[in-house]
Amino acid sequence: MYAARSSARASIVLLCALLALVSGGLVLDRPAQAQSSGSWHTWGEFEGSAGDYHTSMSFPTGPMIDADVSTDSRGGGVGVISGQSNWLSAGTPIGAKYGSSRNQPYLNLRPQADRADSPSRTDYAFDVPVPPGGWAFALGDVDADQVKVIAKGPDGATLTASELGFQGAFNYCGAASAGGPSCSGDGTDQPTWNAATRTLVGNAAAADTDGASGWFEPTVPVKSLTFMFTRRSGFPVYQTWFASLGCDVTGTVTDSGAPSAGTELNILDSSGSLVESATTGDDGSYAFPDYLIGGEYTVELIAPDGKIVDGDIRRQADLSACPAAPTDFQLRDIVPTSVSGNVSTAEGQQLGGVAVTIALEDDTTRTTVTDSDGDYLFDDVPAGDHVITIDEPEGYDYAGADQRDITVVPAQTTPITGQDFLLAAQARLLGLAIACEEPLPGVTATLTRPDGSTESTVTDADGLYSFAGLAAGIYTVAVDVPEGHSADTPTTQNVRVVDTDVSGVHFYYSEPTAVTGTVTGPDGEPTGGVALTVTPRGGSPEQATTGDDGTYGIGNLPSGSHTVRITAPDGYEVDGEAERTVSNSSTCGDAVADFALLESDDPGDPTTDPGGPSAKPNGETDDGEVDPSGVANGDDLPGTGLSARIALVSALFLLAAGAVMIAAAKARRDEDTGLTL
């Protein structure tokens, strides 16, 4: 599929690759940039074996989102590819926005088997939902094949075609890919996007061309992504690229109007989790470089000792466009009297972002939130009796007092500390989705609470789902059945929750399988053109024929027991049973039924070929091709096709004709000599 390069062109490619590597090394620790910059994603080591490969994929932009990748692709030409020979140039639509992918890796995969009924399934399980607006993926070399795209949001809902954000088809080969095509060819072939089935389909003729691609920019958060790749013809391989746009989150911290140097700040993702920390420079400025455009980020200022944030300690960063508006903070000295405390769990987890309110004696209130260390502080608290409360976070119960009463005496300067709140996390419900003894990511699990309300999530790379903050009661957990799977257990379970975590609520699935095998002849060599009938469990009979290598296969079958019957070609008989029952229930792997043929004592009609009723001499068929089933196995010469009976009759005829000729010759000789018998 890849065109050969001349030695001169190969030298140029290698030189460009070297220059790219050198230049790449120069920008690994790049400074902050105000304008958006495109980056292609990195891949981990490609491990495993055919039918069970694993790798990882990482966003180079913050907040450093990772995906665990698993696939049941067959082997041969698969893995993480360097991008030196095939790339998406700046002349392609995606390259124009995200930059050239030259020398940037991508993933090569194939179907589960090179048959139209055995697609491969590749799952991307992201550790956190990927926000919309600043990332894309491209599917390449989709010409004689097709790829179905299935994505799910953090709530378990399957994305619609519109939400997948198909941006268009293109071809990265030939002159159509301005800016440096990575392969030869006319570069005109493009796939078609079928929105109804969310499938990218290659050309109508299923012709094996080069460079046919499509790209997507999802418009809603994505928690899991699945590609179902199906062969239509030819040698099926497809490519996957990921790219993202980054922009810097910046700002300045001042202390009573002067720059505040060495002040610590945190950036949090949409879930409130800490991503990374930074400190201000001598001029009071800070930067979190190269964060994913479109993401929801919060910047948090950690006030130094003796200081308090003048205003909100957490502020939303706006990355809807680049450059982003600065996120600035101000500090000032603490004014007596101050009141401080902490919010945590009995297990020692510090709870940030919890709203804390102090109700003053004069009936006014003030509110702040805890920082990532669970700490809060009020200052300039007047004399009087006051009450401190918190907004109890969802999923937690008080493990101690639900309010704190304090008294500030007139002219007090001593800080009041230790006004802590202790919480206990409510019970969780956890379980796994398992297919063929392997974790199954991307399964939607839905919890129905005792009051009828529902909540959904998606299983992660380990097949795990969990629901937290559950009060005592009876709950129902239901899961969906991912495409290409069947449920081995009920998809709904009722669970009683008391006051502790409930685990072990698992769901089991089977993957689609195949019945495969090999047919060999009397000499043990593979035999092509042999007909077999496969009747799957609960299904209708399907026909298969062995190829030149003697193998056959029927895919996309449920796990279970299947019946296979072989039809022995004329001149052969089956060595053993002609019908067998094979099972793959316990292993979820392919069921295998091999057969061997022996020469038959009753060869049958000499004019009948194993491949059909109109065979020609030497195994030649009507279309001029040579049918290997018409050639004797292990013999360079074709069989004569004469039966023993015909041979005997022919021999007797020749003997009789010889006797007549001898008698006639003797009569002529006797006549010539005048002798009589």
CATH 3.30.390.10 for domain 513-630, yes or no, is no
What is the structure's pLDDT at 585?
65
What is the structure's pLDDT at 320?
87
What is the structure's pLDDT at 602?
65
What is the structure's pLDDT at 234?
81
Phi then psi for 39, rounded to 5 degrees?
Answer: -140, 145
pLDDT > 60? residue 673: no
- Give the residue from 447, 399, 396, 445 showing the smallest Cα distance to 422: 399
DSSP string, 273-316: -EEEEEE--TTSEEEEEEEETT--EEEEEEPPTTEEESS-SEEE
pLDDT digits 0-9 by tens, 199-256: 999 999 999 898 999 999 999 999 999 999 999 988 899 999 999 999 999 999 999 9
CA distance 578 to 49: 33
What is the structure's pLDDT at 75?
94
Mean pLDDT for the chain?
84
What is the structure's pLDDT at 556?
86
Domain ranges of the chain: 29-245, 247-424, 444-510, 513-630, 642-677
What is the β-pairing status of strands 135-140 and 212-216?
Answer: antiparallel
- Identify the sign of the CA torsion 607, 610, 614, 615: negative
Contact 295, 274 (CB under 8 A): no
Class of domain 247-424 as given by CATH: mainly beta
Q: Check residue 586 and give left, alpha or beta (phi > 0: left; psi -120 to 50: alpha).
A: alpha
What is the structure's pLDDT at 553?
92
The Cβ-side half-sphere exposure at 611, using a 13 Å CA radius, reads: 22
Q: How many CB atoms lie within 10 A of CB 127?
A: 16
pLDDT > 70? residue 619: no
pLDDT digits 0-9 by tens, 495-549: 999 989 999 999 999 888 889 999 999 999 999 999 999 998 888 999 999 999 9
pTM for the model stands at 0.79
pLDDT digits 0-9 by tens, 117-159: 999 999 999 999 999 999 999 999 999 999 999 999 999 999 9
- Please, which pLDDT band fits residue 286 given cuts at 50, 70 and 90? very high
CA distance 83 to 99: 14
Contact 98, 136 (CB under 8 A): yes
What is the average per-residue pLDDT within 642-653?
37
| One fold for 247-424 and 513-630 | yes
- Give the residue from 503, 482, 499, 502 showing the smallest Cα distance to 491: 482
pLDDT digits 0-9 by tens, 67-79: 999 999 999 999 9
pLDDT digits 0-9 by tens, 427-445: 999 999 999 889 999 999 9
